[in-house]
Amino acid sequence: MTTQPAGTTVHSSQPYNAEPPRTALADRDLTPVDAFYHRNHAAERPRLDPATWALRVDGMVERPATFSLDALRERFREHSEVVTLQCAGNRRAGLMEVADPPGETPWGPGATGTARWAGVRLADVLREAGVAPGATDVAFTGADVAEEADEPYAVSVPLEKALADEVLLAWSMNDAPLPSAHGAPVRVVVPGWIGARSVKWLERVTVADEPSRGHFQAVAYRLLPADDAPAPGRGVALGPIAVNADVLSPADGAEVPAGPVRVTGDALAGGDRTVVRVDVSTDDGATWHEADLEPQASRWSWRHWHTTLDLPAGTTRVVARAWDSAAGVQPADPAELWNPKGYVNNSWARVTLHAVASGGG
Ligand code: MTE
């Protein structure tokens, strides 16, 4: 049993989908495991026995291989990396205020979390198997079968990303064994890319000359024009995350004392970009001032920011937006971004604070 923070939202219990309140993510480099969001597609979570678990590496490789957990540990060096995972559905609730993407989960900003992941580099395993000429993509297959797909969860990343040093086959999360709920015994961690590519309960790595035809790559997790509908191959497969930020503390709707109020948040650039600036506004973007950025725990992790606002008594809407190292910035309005599956809401963050004048005077 885990002890989730008070205020955790359980969006569904089968499949289990849950996110912590935004304040549980504030001011911490690493998200405690109990506060880490859960995003699942299958009603039943696979329970894999680490003693009998094996990883198959096949497809366009010169030496197809099967590795037990012990073999992975013995054959390859362990590496660790602090990485933020963010679901493509993070902040979907903001898109739902524009129009309802039917049947989708109304995620807030809590479908984001950062952990120290440790395991082996996927690149080392692929090198051992020998990638055959002509290969372009690497698919990951998990052990879970989602009702909507009727096939094991499978997605892929381009070979170039699969061979990058930062992509891990992880067995540990925040210096403890990877919990079953987060994919034990081994999950993929693909830094900078939508969480959907970080396959849990990994059973198979398949090198191919095309992207995965699995449901969660060919139909779901694709960006569609507003007037289109999901079908195999429609729209574009989402990959690197778009620059995004949110206010994490105080909570949306919080009552605070009038006067100086410390406001903090997170920002994530995605891909191999970094967050270079966060702006905060109290007049809905007419004027901005720069927040202070905290140091990043790693180049693959979120960047926390903070500022102090002098709030008059009454209601203020605090708006924030991040810029990335490619001069990308968050768009103002969720209506510009609306898409039928409700992905990648990276419009300006907005929270409402109610400042109350102290009663003493
Ligand atoms: N892997 C498998 N096998 N099955 C899944 O349903 N969900 C994906 C990804 N990996 C999923 C999966 C999605 S959409 C996200 S955002 C992350 O796992 C969530 O990881 P977490 O539940 O550990 O936070």
Beta-bridge partner residues of 224: none
Choose which residue among 2, 45, 87, 148 to substitute to test ligand 1 binding: the one with the highest number of ligand atoms within 8 A of its C-beta: 87
pLDDT at residue number 262: 98
SS3 per-residue string spanning 64-132 = CEEEEHHHHHHHCCCEEEEEEEECCCCCHHHHHCCCCCCCCCCCCCCCEEEEEEEEEEHHHHHHHHCEC
> pLDDT tens, 289-332?
999 999 999 999 999 999 999 999 999 999 999 999 999 999 99
Nearest atom in ligand 1 to the alpha carbon of residue 221 is: 14
Q: Is the CB of 92 under 6 A from ligand 1?
A: no
* Tens of pLDDT, residues 84-139: 999 999 999 999 999 988 889 999 999 999 999 999 999 999 999 999 999 999 99
The pTM assigned to this predicted structure is: 0.97
CB contact burial 108-121 (16+ within 10 A = b; e otherwise): bbbbbbbbbbbbbb
Residue of the CA atom closest to atom 6 of ligand 1: 40
Q: Is the CB of 200 under 6 A from ligand 1?
A: yes
CA 148–ligand 1 middle distance (angstroms): 15
Largest separation between any pair of C-alpha atoms in the chain = 79
Nearest-atom number in ligand 1 for the CA of 39 is: 22
Q: Please state which CATH number belongs to domain 244-356.
A: 2.60.40.650
Query: Residue whose CA is closest, atom 8 of ligand 1?
Result: 196
Q: How far is the CA of 168 from the centre of ligand 1 (A)?
A: 15
Domain with CATH 3.90.420.10 in the chain: 9-237
Protein residue with its CA nearest to atom 21 in ligand 1 = 38
Mean pLDDT (whole number) for 148-158:
95
Give the residue-averaged pLDDT of 6-14: 97
Residues of the chain with CATH 2.60.40.650: 244-356
124 CA to middle of ligand 1, Å?
23
Task: Tell me the H-state helices in 15-82.
Answer: 69-75
pLDDT of 102 reads 83
Residue 268 has pLDDT above 50, yes or no: yes
Residue 175 vs residue 2, higher pLDDT: 175
Span between the terminal Cα atoms of the chain, in Å? 49
Encode pLDDT of 224-240 as tens digits.
Answer: 999 999 899 899 999 99
> In this model, does residue 2 exceed pLDDT 90?
no
Q: State mean pLDDT over 59-67.
A: 98
182 Cβ closer than 6 Å to some ligand 1 atom = yes
Asked whether 39 lines ligand 1 (CB < 6 A), one says yes
pLDDT of 69 reads 98
> What local confidence, expressed as pLDDT, does residue 336 receive?
94
Q: Is the CB of 142 under 6 A from ligand 1?
A: yes
Cis peptide before 109 (omega within 30 of 0): no
Instruction: Using the predicted structure, report yes or no on whether residue 219 has a pLDDT greater than 50.
Output: yes
Mean per-residue pLDDT, 56-71: 98
How close is the Cα of 200 to the center of ligand 1, in Å? Answer: 6
Cβ 41 under 6 angstroms from ligand 1:
yes
Q: Could you report the per-residue pLDDT of 15-34, keeping only the tens digit for each?
A: 999 999 999 999 999 999 99
Which class is domain 9-237? alpha beta
Q: Give the atom of ligand 1 at the shortest distance from the alpha carbon of 142.
A: 3
Quickly list DSSP for 175-227. Answer: TEEPPGGGTSS-EEE-TTB-GGGS-SSEEEEEEESS---SHHHHTSSEE--TT
For residue 16, which amino acid is it?
A: Y
Say yes or no to pLDDT of 361 above 50: no
Question: Mean pLDDT across the stretch 155-171?
Answer: 98
Q: How far is the CA of 40 from the centre of ligand 1 (A)?
A: 5
